[in-house]
Structure 1
């Protein structure tokens, strides 16, 4: 199934001293560029946040949440306005080790679920509507997932500002895909960013 990508790149990054987190560098590339590289094969790439310079060699659509600073659900709502594919990858902009292969696995998990059966082997179970990563500690990564666009639109509240993301994305028809600590690392704090830079140096 074809898919679009929505990258959430807003927020104030208070835990990083107010720095523009998507432009922080890991291994010589910004966090935003690293995430965009992982979704380069999406039909449309949409970034929610201020326009920034990026290296992706294809067009990127930019939009902003309303109101500015309204939180991740408001940002998701703004991004979904530009989505036309049946599936959408919804990703944070601070995932330095997200890869195209990981995103593809999530797309396959959702897109291939139409023929699912019930546990008893009977057909008729509702299809999966989302797949997300789960880290080694068992935490679901709600901003590293692929979702059915129609379901996301139906679950969005009429007033999305300030709404908790988990209340929109959690559900019984969401599959958790295990991933390692490196893949699920998000750079919320200075220690996370330093860990990412250390791992990138080790990889080189």
Structure 2
């Protein structure tokens, strides 16, 4: 996110010229762009009854010098490209705007480039913001592998109390490429700003600072170096790998089921204020399997919920699971135990 390219991105057949400082590619493929699921907003123009609608702007045009000029947004972590992981964190956006080269893994994104390419993050933000239609804009770097839906939701909620909200790291430093802003305030700030620093642009807006629990998978961690990429891959549970197709070139390999489960468990625990390390995943999965086989498949999630209630009441998880498993095995042997 600190360095920006000198080569322009591909245009699609429907390209339209932009302003003097913006080149609009309009979509990442030659077919007409379709509205994303996020365009189908709920009543009153809201994503739900509490949260305001928003568009997401992903800055994805860096040169990646410290990665040897690699396509950093396309680097895979946990079986998904970095930019796909960040886009998933912004799920529900009315529009997904990518400032950088077109991304085949995001076919419905609006793709724009600052003109000239390489002008820097502030012109890139200006180009992306020109495509925002919603009253709120989520601004994100495209190389944050552990930024999740929970963090973006937290930013949106906190932003409602003022002009915007920004993530801060464990040292209290603002992460300017992880924030949510009132679109009109951001446009006004850009209109009167002649500098090149995101800090200089955004700090005077006095956003709410959102701190999140520190950890190995902290949401502000980026992938600027080969060492950072390898560390992210280890933390995600496996090394990223790619497969090559003639039509699209490199694309992320299919994710394993356990990788999906680990990602989901991490996000769900963060949303509920829990620690994923406190969840005995294998114990719960084994219990659900035994109940599904011994009783009925719909009984598995209900039984997992009952296990949670028992643990919340103070019963050791393994003791409760053993009792339920024994009950399920007896149920299978005697379908009418009453």
TM bin (shorter chain)? 0.7 to 0.9
Cα distance per residue 1:43-85 (max 9 Å; x no partner): 111000011211x5x7211100121011111110000110011
The answer to whether 1:21 aligns with 2:72 is yes
Query: 1:153 is matched with which residue?
Result: 187
The 3-state SS of whatever aligns with 2:103 is: coil
- Point out which structure has higher relative CO (alpha carbons under 8 A, 6+ apart): 1
TM-score calculated relative to the size of structure 1: 0.85
Quote the offset at 1:171 in angstroms: 2.4
CA 104–69 in structure 1, closer or farther in 2 if over 3 Å, else same: same
Structure 2 residue aligned with 1:116: none
What SS class does the counterpart of residue 98 from structure 1 fall into?
A: coil
CA distance in 2, matches of 1:4, 1:172: 19
CA contact (8 A) 2:155 2:166 kept: yes
Flag the structure with larger Rg. 2
1:109 is the counterpart of 2:158:
yes
Aligned residue in 1 for 2:206: 173
Task: From the two aligned structures, give the one with the greater helix fraction.
Answer: 2
Does 1:89 pair with 2:122? no
Q: Kindly tell me the number of residue pairs found equivalent between the two proteins.
A: 186
Matched, 1:190 2:226: yes
Which consecutive segments of 4 or more residues in structure 1 shift more than 6 A? Answer: none
CA 1:39 to 1:172, structure 2 compared with 1: closer, same or farther past 3 Å?
closer
TM-score (norm 2): 0.52
More strand by share: 1
Gaps of 5+ in 1: 114-127
Match of 1:123 in 2: none
Contact 2:193–2:201 (CA under 8 A) maintained in structure 1: no
Partner Cα distance (1:169, 1:73) in 2? 10
Kept in 1: contact 2:163–2:205 (CA 8 A): no
Calculate the aligned-residue CA RMSD, in Å: 1.8
